[in-house]
Structure 1
Amino acid sequence: MLSRKNKLLITKALSLFSVVRGYNILVIVIAQYLTSIYILAPQLPLGDVVFDPNLLMLVLASAVAIAGGYIINNFYDSEKDLINRPRKSMLDRLVSQRTKLSVYFVLNFMSVVFASYVSFRAVIFFSAYIFGIWLYSHKFKRITGLGNIIAAMLSVTPFFAVFIYYSNFDTVIFVHATFLFLLLWMREVVKDLENLKGDLTLNYKTVPVVFGENPAKGLITALCISTLIPIILLLTYYEVGYMDYYFYASGLALIGFLVVLWRSKRKLHYLILHGLLKGIIVLGVFSIVLINVDLILKRFL
């Protein structure tokens, strides 16, 4: 039997894991490695990529910086989350705000230390990234429309650390990144619809608060249609192997997404839409291996 003290420690650990959204960070770590193996450096032996200490340090720097970002975002949004996500908020509040800030500074310091192993340029990159996350949480998040764009950009930024490391700037990478950016931008606006009650109460100037639900749905629709551009480019001009099935499936899923979007009126509907977009993004991460099936056979069979 666990003692009361141990139970409290475990509960607080789970609370902190909830705040930093460890599951999201795990997906990002996997995405960075799969991108490195199958897109950025497919010519290198598997071991040279997986066991590259520089890549490991960049991934760790990204992971702890993102974790710190979730903490500072949780710190600024604590009142809003209490309205929009009361159950999760109660779990998150098991760890004091002071402790969260202490962990935030420790994680940021660790990110810079990990980056320093690679190069001074990496230190500058992650220092700017950490500052950008803080500036977004402190100021830009409340600016109509701009907050959504910056949030999507910050979500994509860790991948550029890996792109720069491998000095791979092929246009196909930016087309992939554009597709991901548009999905993330859509997700941010859907989250605003989902959190409309708390945003109205605390006067967050989001698109749904300032312009209304239908204009917000119109913006999401425009972004959804825009995803067709990178999808068509990837299917017609670039070699994506069997990942083309993912893009066909994503196109169909996004059509269904739009149908549900315009029929949505309740928070539950927006939660479903949010989950659908997250599913498309996560599935895209694991579909990267389909770009070169022969590479899979050579490396794992």
Structure 2
Amino acid sequence: MKIINAFLQLIRWPNLLFIFLTQVMFEYCIVKPLFTAAGVDNVLNTSAFFLLAFSSVCIAAGGYVINDYFDLNIDLVNKPKRLVVDNTISRRWVILWHFILSIVGIALGFYIDKTTQTSFIGIFNFLSVLLLFIYSASLKKKFLLGNVLISLLTAWSVLILWWAEQRYFFAFPPITNLDTHKFFRFTILYAGFAFIISLIREVIKDMEDVEGDRKYGCKTMPIVWGINSTKIFTLVWVIVLSAALLLLQLYVTFIGWWVTALYGFVCITLPLLQVVRLLIKAQSAADFHRLSTLVKIIMLTGIVSMLFFGHPM
């Protein structure tokens, strides 16, 4: 049981659940209703979709595993009580699990390409594995580059579902009943939200881990700019996201979606304003850890908001 718990901790199972939930909600609350309304079947049938979601989970899990492998010394400073590598699971097994999970994710991508009308899913999965390895080995320690890469890969968990349906965008004659523009707007909405909220959380985590990162020569934003300047950078993104969401809530109010607007304001925008208040006051690693947890909750409420967008905008 100890090994199982350690493995689940190593692969960050709550984060994997977030990825899976994001893709399930987007597929069944956004994609399928649009295609059903148009009277056509989307490219990914049920089995292909769940294989794609599982491949995303495997690749992310492999990324978390290799990240902990490279971060062993830093984690000895930042989170010694939660250390798994070389404590419960040996380095050799960590590398093996990274290899297995990554290969499964890549292979599933190529299988989906072979058995459906998708294109390049296998290639994209391979590139995701490669980028996660480079991030863990090097980019994580660089100024902002690692944060942006992880945020882009988070957004990709939504964008890949849009890409899987790309044959419909260039169909000739075009499928007149399928509003690809609305599909694209939904995709940009949630991919953009995923990118910004992930970037905010990544920078907050860097502020939380600044002591261990500094000890081992990392050049993250809090180390290069200092905590106060990094706070300002983060606050700007929180305010930009809050303003964009307020505009969206105003828009859906005008078209009569009161429940949608109310949910967004209470469950997403107000917590973001709480992030602003707490971020200004934050000083200790514990303060930044609480902020990181709050941002993760906002990620979840953002995902759940798809339930309220089951109809075309």
TM-score, structure 1 as length reference: 0.87
User: Does the C-alpha gap of structure 1 residues 92 and 153 become closer, same or farther in structure 2, counting only changes over 3 Å?
Assistant: farther
Q: CA deviation at 1:51?
A: 6.3
Deviations 1:216-256 (A, max 9, x none): 10101111111034314432456794332232122221222
**What is the deviation of 1:92?**
7.1
1:253-284 superposed Cα distances (whole Å, 9 cap, x missing partner) = 12221111111111111111111100000122
The residue aligned with 1:222 is 236
Moved over 3 A (4+): 48-51, 236-243
Deviation of the 1:206 alpha carbon: 0.7
| Offset from partner CA, 1:2-55 (integer Å, 9 cap, x none) | xxxxxxxx211211110101121112112101101111221456xx88961111
Aligned to 2:173: none
Aligned counterpart in structure 2 of residue 74 of structure 1, from 68, 76, 98: 68
Separation in 2, partners of 1:113, 1:177: 25
Note if contact 2:206-2:221 (Cα within 8 Å) is conserved in structure 1. Answer: yes
The aligned amino acid for 1:72 is I
Q: Could you tell me which of 277, 285, 288 is aligned with 1:267?
A: 285
Q: Distance in 2 between matches of 1:88 and 1:140?
A: 23
> Which residue of 178, 184, 189 maps to 1:175?
189
The letter for the 1-side match of 2:277 is V
Partner residue of 2:206? 192
Q: Is the 8 A contact 1:240 1:291 kept in 2?
A: no
The superposition leaves residues 164-202 of structure 1 with CA deviations (integer Å, 9 ceiling, x where unpaired) of 113355223212221221111010110011111101111
**Residue type of the partner of 1:124?**
I
Matched, 1:246 2:240: no
Matched ranges for 1:50-61 at <5 A: 52-61=46-55
Instruction: Name the CA distance, whole Å, in 1 between partners of 2:144 and 2:23.
Output: 28
- Would the alpha carbon gap of residues 178 and 43 (structure 1) be closer, same or farther in structure 2, given more than 3 Å must change? closer
The unaligned stretches of length 5 or more in structure 1 are 1-9, 294-301
Q: Counterpart in 2 of 1:128?
A: 127
Candidates 17, 20, 23, aligned match of 2:14: 23
Q: Tell me which of 29, 41, 45 is aligned to 1:38.
A: 29
The CA RMSD measured in Å over matched residues stands at 2.4
Q: Which residue is equivalent to 1:284? A: 302
In 2, distance between residues paired with 1:101 and 1:240?
53
* Stretch moving more, 93-102 or 167-176: 167-176
More deviation, 81-90/209-218:
81-90
1:256 aligns with 2:271: no
SS across alignment from 2:89: coil
Alpha-carbon deviation of 1:135? 1.2
Distance across 1 between alignment mates of 2:262 and 2:9: 33
Could you tell me how far apart the structure 2 residues matched to 1:63 and 1:57 are?
Answer: 10
* Residues in 2 aligned to 1:247 and 1:99: alpha-carbon distance in whole angstroms: 43
Q: Which runs of 5+ in 2 are unaligned?
A: 114-118, 167-179
User: How far off is 1:163 after superposition?
Assistant: 1.4
Query: What is the aligned counterpart of 1:113 among 93, 107, 112?
Result: 107
In structure 2, distance between residues paired with 1:192 and 1:153: 17
The equivalent of 1:102 in structure 2 is 96
Give distance in 1, aligned partners of 2:85 and 2:5. 8
CA distance in 2, matches of 1:200, 1:247: 38
Tell me the equivalent position of 2:158.
159
Farther-moved stretch of structure 1 (192-201 vs 116-125): 116-125
